[in-house]
Structure 1
Amino acid sequence: MFTGIVQARGKVLAIEKKPGLHTLQIALSPELLEGLQTGASVANNGVCLTVTQVGHDRAFFDVMEETLKLTNLGSLQVGDEVNLERSLTFGKEVGGHILSGHIHTQAKLINVDSAESHYDLLFELPETWMKYVFYKGFIGINGCSLTVGEVMANRFKIHLIPETLRLTNLGDYQPGMHVNIEIDSQTQTIVDTVERVLAQRLTS
């Protein structure tokens, strides 16, 4: 489990591509490497990945074919940066909202509205997932716990503060690029339950 509070950005140092599998070598700061062991979970752009090897300045992760297709990890290039968060430990403060590290879909960045007073991102989401997106609700974007600022048809807007831009890779994204989306689990459960109850009433 993760908090959605990105701890650092890590540069992609190497990508070994094999049939149905990519092995990523991601640079980690000394703070993130401290105590990190093989088998530990680290979120990369919100995707829960297992550490397969630890080096003096990096960690190795295997990414399976299904994950490569579902997430933006499949489009990574050497030199790109990913958002990193180590898994939640007992007693740690949860500053965002609980994320599982299991990505539901991707959203396309439509527009960046940048000014001295604000930095807004407008995303387009597949229609089937928009029923879980609500004004002031939570959503996970590239592993960041964020609050939805506006909802319209199959699009939603996020307002970013300077600290989020500094810590994460969201400020690097340009229109046309895709981000990983994890829907808030509580919201999904409530919406699905209401739909099921209404459907049962209509058929009874």
Structure 2
Amino acid sequence: MFTGIVQGCAEIVGVEEKQDFRTHTVRLPATLLEGLSLGASVAHNGCCLTATAIDGDRVSFDLMQETLRVTNLGTVAVGDRVNVERAARFGDDIGGHAMSGHILCQAQVSEIIDSPNNRTVWLDLPPSVMKYVFTKGYIGIDGISLTIGLVRGASFCVHLIPETLSRTNMGERRAGDRVNIEIDPQTQAIVETVERVLAERAGQS
């Protein structure tokens, strides 16, 4: 489990491509290396990955075909930075919201509005996913737990404070970029339960 409180950014320092498979290596900040062992879970742009090799501060992770298909990790290159978070431990503060590290889809950044001390980012989602998006609800964007601002058709926005911009890669995002989306699991469960109940009632009438 993750909390959506990104602990920093890690630079991609190596990429090995194979058929429907990729291994990428990141340079982890020293603060995230303590106690890290093979098999540990680390979220990259919100996607839960498993450490497969550790060489000093260089840590490698394997990406399977489904990960490459669903997430934006198949497009990262050497020199890019990804948001990282170690798996939560019992007793940790949950400053964001509970996240699984399982990406549902990608959204495209459509507009960025900068103003003093904050940034508003508008994103376009597939219409089928918008049923889970509510004003003031939770959403995971590239692993960051954020509160939804406004909802407009198949688009929504989030507001980013300077701390989020300095700690994550959201300050580097531009219109046209694609970001990983994880829907709040409680919201998803409620929406799908209501849909199922209404469908059953409609079938009985």
Provide the alpha-carbon RMSD of the alignment: 0.6
> Is the counterpart of residue 116 in structure 1 residue 116 in structure 2?
yes
Q: 1:82-101 to 2 correspondence within 5 Å?
A: 82-101=82-101
Cross-structure match for 1:132: 132
Cross-structure match for 1:157: 157
TM-score by length of 2: 0.98
Q: CA deviation at 1:50?
A: 0.3
Runs of 5+ in structure 2 lacking a partner? Answer: none
Cross-structure match for 2:17: 17
Q: CA deviation at 1:20?
A: 1.4
SS of the residue corresponding to residue 132 of structure 2 reads: coil
Residues 136-183 of structure 1, C-alpha deviation per residue, up to 9 Å, x if partnerless?
000000000000000011000000000000000011111011000000
Q: Contact 2:117–2:161 (CA<8 Å) still a contact in 1?
A: no
Q: State the AA in 1 paired with 2:115.
A: A
Q: State the AA in 2 paired with 1:118.
A: N
Percent identity between the two aligned chains: 52
Cross-structure match for 1:81: 81
SS of the residue corresponding to residue 194 of structure 1 reads: helix
Q: State the AA in 2 paired with 1:94.
A: I
SS of the residue corresponding to residue 180 of structure 1 reads: strand
Q: State the AA in 2 paired with 1:103.
A: I
C-alpha distance in 2 between matches for 1:106 and 1:143: 12
C-alpha distance in 2 between matches for 1:35 and 1:83: 19
Cross-structure match for 2:71: 71
Q: CA deviation at 1:118?
A: 2.9
C-alpha distance in 2 between matches for 1:91 and 1:65: 34
Residues 98-155 of structure 1, C-alpha deviation per residue, up to 9 Å, x if partnerless?
0000000000000000121431000000000000000000000000000000001100
Q: CA deviation at 1:47?
A: 0.4
SS of the residue corresponding to residue 134 of structure 1 reads: coil
TM-score by length of 1: 0.99
Count of matched residue positions in the alignment of Structure 1 and Structure 2: 204
Which deviates further from its counterpart, 6-15 or 26-35?
Answer: 26-35
